[in-house]
A and B are shown apart, each in its own frame.
Chain A
């Protein structure tokens, strides 16, 4: 794993954005599909807290993505399990996920794979833990009864199939989860720990998120920043690279 520690939320965001930009350029102008992962059920499409609204307002409306390339699990589908299975098929048809970008919950969950989720699970309907419901209450005016209790989510296994995984973790309230994810063992109670068995993981975090880590761990990875920062240096644009796929030269491998 690469652990990238930046000073604060904005710097962590910027580093992650540049990394993703570079990865897109390296991937080349291919089919370039985009999959989004976790959607609470029961919310109408245009509810301001639906994932559709969230993704539209925070991402899609600012970029020139073609709507056909956006795949969001539909929490209002008549047959939820069929919807999940179809999602897995679409991923396969697109050639698998090249880069998975996600965050973690304070309880160490990835997507909505709550503590106790199987580490080899696939896309499915999941009941949300009370912790998650509490964490999301702020989007529903603090009214717990309004927060959806179920969600459609990609499974841990689904994410593990991705060729590369990037996890963004910022804030002191995530510090314990980060500790459990990288310094403790593989454990289905902290599903993010599954990525210890993934060949290509990047954790991007801010100082506050490292509060529960050993000083030794933090110093070790901070010492690697000179090398890691090469990963976000500007590459040639897709236009300049033309039809030729460039060989992605990583300065070192995991």
Chain B
């Protein structure tokens, strides 16, 4: 059919024979893409009298928005907290490899490190769009060093810091630059945290609470000052107690400012959280759940020893511990595994399982107008999955950037 478009001559691709995730439901609709964005076919038809240039048969796949991982420390032998000479190629490698896990955007995460490491690494992290070269980088996630000693987890104690002397200036001096920083995890019970949280929020940086022994009122105060995220719920914080639920209590707190939502990250690899705990959190606050991998350098590699910043970790199957201890340190789970495990453990719908890895992280970062959905005019970052939620193909800006090898698994 002749294309007769008045707005643009760019080719229009129509993905047919598929079920797309839109308005929280899987619908039998075609997906239209032009110039890297999702196109409104009705407008095209009536306003431009245009039609598709290419029609692709998706063989009844599910089409979902690309996954967004806001906490990933490395993978495939690359450690984002290690300042090496070829750091850039390391981050490129990871961003390329995670396409096969369905991740189209991510926040490279740095664990607690000495200031020199931040000064060396942060300038090398640039916010950039994804493409055939790899998933898009939304900005860095700095987990530490302003965290609690009692809940340091796998973070090295000698690098922990406070900001009670100079508040925000201390933080800025430690990190060097906040230009490409998207999320900062800190412990809100630390003195002067409110000033720091307010300042970070003012600069558009998402503040997350984690590695902390805060009680519920300290956590609520932090939220009132601007905190919007909880780093890996249940892990590295006080356990839920019925007279002081601690940070976990934020899920059902009535002191959250109107119009705001508290999001919380969960590592659903089957190890970090017991499925029953996962279900409790999900049922208490389903709209706030954000899946993260918290993956470390050893992800994607054979079991054995790898680094995580200043520490050495040991991988044994799906478990990753600080070498010689039983302290969990990150995971080797991939995002698509987490999505499948989450769906299985909670018995939720396919739509929900896909949204906690795409829509919710986009909402957390305030980018849901262009990422995390298949709404018209959003970026065309999407996945084709089969009914068991295995990724068959990954698309960024409407271009196929990864496809499952038919001969492979």
A residues with a Cβ closer than 8 A to B are 45-46, 52-53, 56-57, 60-61, 64, 66-68, 70, 72
Contacts and interface: CB of A to CB of B under 8 A. Distances in A.
Given A52-B42, A61-B41, A70-B46, 14 more contacts: A45-B46, A46-B43, A52-B46, A56-B45, A56-B46, A61-B45, A66-B2, A66-B51, A67-B45, A67-B46, A67-B50, A67-B51, A68-B49, A70-B45
29 contacts: A45-B46, A45-B47, A46-B42, A52-B42, A52-B46, A53-B42, A56-B41, A56-B42, A56-B45, A56-B46, A60-B45, A61-B30, A61-B41, A61-B42, A61-B45, A64-B1, A66-B2, A66-B51, A67-B4, A67-B45, A67-B46, A67-B48, A67-B49, A67-B50, A67-B51, A68-B4, A68-B49, A70-B46, A72-B46
Interface centre among B1, B42, B47, B49 (most CB of A within 10 A): B42
Contacts of B48: 67
Residues of B in contact with A, size category: 10 to 19
Interface string B31-59: 00000000001110111111100000000
A56 B47 CA distance: 12
Contacts of A72: 46
Instruction: Select the residue from A61, A67, A68 with max chain B CB neighbours within 10 A.
Output: A67
Interface in B1-47: 1-2, 4, 30, 41-43, 45-47
B19 to A, nearest CB: 15
A57 B28 CA distance: 12
Contacts of B2: 66
Nearest to A62: B30
Nearest to B32: A61
B5 to A, nearest CB: 10
Nearest to B5: A67
Nearest to A61: B41
Nearest to A52: B46
B29 to A, nearest CB: 8
Nearest to B45: A67
A67 B1 CA distance: 10
A68 B2 CA distance: 10
Contacts of A64: 1
A64 B2 CA distance: 12
B21 to A, nearest CB: 18
A1 B42 CA distance: 37
B259 to A, nearest CB: 25
What are the 6 A-B residue pairs with the smallest beta carbon separation, nearest first?
Answer: A67-B49, A56-B42, A67-B45, A52-B46, A68-B49, A66-B1
A63 to B, nearest CB: 11
Nearest to A60: B45
A70 B4 CA distance: 14
Nearest to B50: A67
A72 B47 CA distance: 12
A57 B30 CA distance: 12
Residue from B1, B45, B50 with most neighbouring chain A CB atoms (10 Å): B45
A56 B51 CA distance: 13
A45 B47 CA distance: 9
A67 B4 CA distance: 9
Contacts of A56: 41-42, 45-46
A130 B378 CA distance: 42
Contacts of B45: 56, 60-61, 67, 70
Contacts of A57: 42
Contacts of A61: 30, 41-42, 45
A57 B4 CA distance: 21
Nearest to B47: A45
Interface in B296-328: none
A57 B45 CA distance: 12
A70 B46 CA distance: 8
Contacts of A68: 4, 49
A53 B23 CA distance: 17
A64 B45 CA distance: 11
A67 B48 CA distance: 9
